[in-house]
Chains A and B, each alone.
Chain A
Amino acid sequence: MEDIISMLADGGVLVADGAMGTMLQRAGLPAGTPPEAWLLENPGPVCDVHRAYLDAGAHLILTCTFGATRPRLERKGYAERVAEINRRAVEIARQAANGRAYVAGDIGPLGLFLAPLGPLSHEQAVGLFAEQAEALVAAGVDVLVIETMSALEEMRAAIEAAQQAARGLPVFATFSFDHHGRTNMGVRPEQAAQELTALGVQAFGANCGATLDMTLGALEAMHATAPDAWLIAKPNAGLPRAQGREVVYDASPADMAAYARRFAAAGARVIGGCCGSTPAHIAAIAAALKP
């Protein structure tokens, strides 16, 4: 398999996977247990979710490590197992991918504000991200993906840590645009495109977010700002809605597929799903993007 950068340079569009957490809940993840800790004892269901996305047509899967940074794991009593959890998650994803797909080491927000709004200094944040990024890289990922970021300061810290740990591997980065077309911390897509281009990540874009339309708007603005950039679209399957005691997301696989074409037209080269998306959504996206 050629490396991910060559593949994108050849003009390909890479189909990425969809939600992990909501899929694991269906497989028995108890309420309140972090998936990152659960996978230590339950590698099977995590591997099954990866396989379901690969079977649906995904060629990039994200490790189950969104919350596998120290401040998040600490609150659940897993502070001393940060490296182990990240390593295990990569092993499980690698096993599922079995050489037929790229494995991305997933890095999510710390759940804390950086100074001046909160307690964390830039250096502390870099250190926390570095701990995770180094474990992911050591375990053998193809790319690091920093996602669902809202604050520019936190994104900068995560990218600095990821690039130091990456030893030449690519780093991708996405913000979540969910409040009037900006991130909830106020970052505009144009500003994100400028910053992320300057920071030298290989691809960037939007994930999670509010509506599919808001993600599309963000992508179009990024594309206008950085026409040559490889963009990423990994949105939620629309908005959550209560259906009895379950939460359903209101975008169907067909809806996501229709948007996937529009994301591609706006410069997206990596397209997948976030909260509420399922293998059915990814299969529809893969079919829609077939040349």
Chain B
Amino acid sequence: MDAIGEQLQQAVLLGEPERAHDLAAQALRAGAEPLAVIEGALATAMQQVGARYECGEYFIPDLVMAAEAMKAAVRVLEPALAARQERRQVLGTVVIGTVEGDIHEIGKSLVATMLSAAGFQVHDLGVDVSAAEFVKRVQETGANVVGLSALLTTTMLNQERVIEALQEAGLRERVKVVIGGAPASPEWAQTIGADGYAENAAEAVTVVKQLVGA
């Protein structure tokens, strides 16, 4: 990686959106391939961010600001990609939401942001999302991953309702289902027949990548 790439990687790692924006523009002017920047400096930075969160060096504000910096850089790089008729490699398509009856937003949105930064196409359905809505949006988007968030011990039961609804709609084989939320656990994922469980937004990226073989 060249000097600008390294600085860009640092800007994302340190969560500096304006600097990331400027460095991405500088990289393009210096003749860098936009795709190489995204898959190089930016992807490496986000991996480092995840690792720093896992080990307790980073916390939620660091994740949010790093993702903002990543997005700022991508906003500069994407028009250049389009001009070259190139596309960023999409690792998968994710439909994500907080299940019916549950209005907790922060954790789910953070997972959506991190997955998006990692290269997934993410459709965030918001909070209090019915099983029928999940099914509908999986059909519409052709998603291969479904993320189900629940923060309450009561609403976690609705994670299972969504899995049942996907089954009834004949979509279960097509998607990997990942669950999360404070009361959720690997055992709960197993009980309700989910494919994976993620403890936090950084782990969600690792788990979803593994599930889709990316």
List the interface of chain A (C-beta within 8 A of B).
21-22, 25, 29-33, 72, 75-76, 111-113, 117, 150, 179-186, 239-242, 244-245, 247, 275
Asked if B185 is an interface residue, CB under 8 A from chain A, the answer is: yes
Bound CA span A275–B156, Å:
15
Q: Chain B residues near A241: list those with CB within 8 A.
A: 185, 187
Interface string of B154-170 (1 = CB under 8 A from A): 11111010000000000
Complex CA gap A111/B104 in Å reads 7
Chain A residues with CB under 8 A of B64: 113, 117
Chain A residues in 8 Å Cβ range of B133: none
B210 CB–A CB distance under 8 Å: no
Does B101 make an interface contact (CB < 8 A)? yes
* Nearest-neighbor residue (CB-CB) of B161 within chain A: A31
By a CB distance below 8 angstroms, the chain B residues around A181 are: 56
Task: Tell me which residues across on chain B come within 8 A of A29, comparing CB atoms.
Answer: 154
Q: Are A245 and B191 in contact (CB under 8 A)?
A: yes
Tell whether, in the assembled complex, residue B153 and residue A240 are in contact, meaning their CB atoms are under 8 Å apart. Answer: yes
The CA of A186 and the CA of B184, in the complex, are separated in Å by: 22
Instruction: Give every chain A residue within 8 A of B78 (Cβ-Cβ).
Output: none
| B107 nearest in chain A by CB position | A184
B56 and A240 contact, CB distance less than 8 A: no
Name the one of A31, A183, A240, A275 contacting B101, with C-beta atoms under 8 angstroms.
Answer: A31
Query: A33-B101, A76-B103, A184-B59 known; 11 other A-B pairs, CB under 8 Å?
Result: A32-B102, A112-B105, A117-B64, A180-B56, A182-B56, A185-B61, A186-B60, A186-B62, A241-B185, A242-B188, A247-B156
Over the window 64-96 of chain B, the binary record of Cβ atoms lying under 8 Å from chain A Cβ atoms (1 yes, 0 no) is 110000000000000000000000000000000
Among all A-B residue pairs, the 6 with the closest Cβ atoms: A32-B101, A180-B56, A186-B59, A242-B188, A31-B154, A242-B187
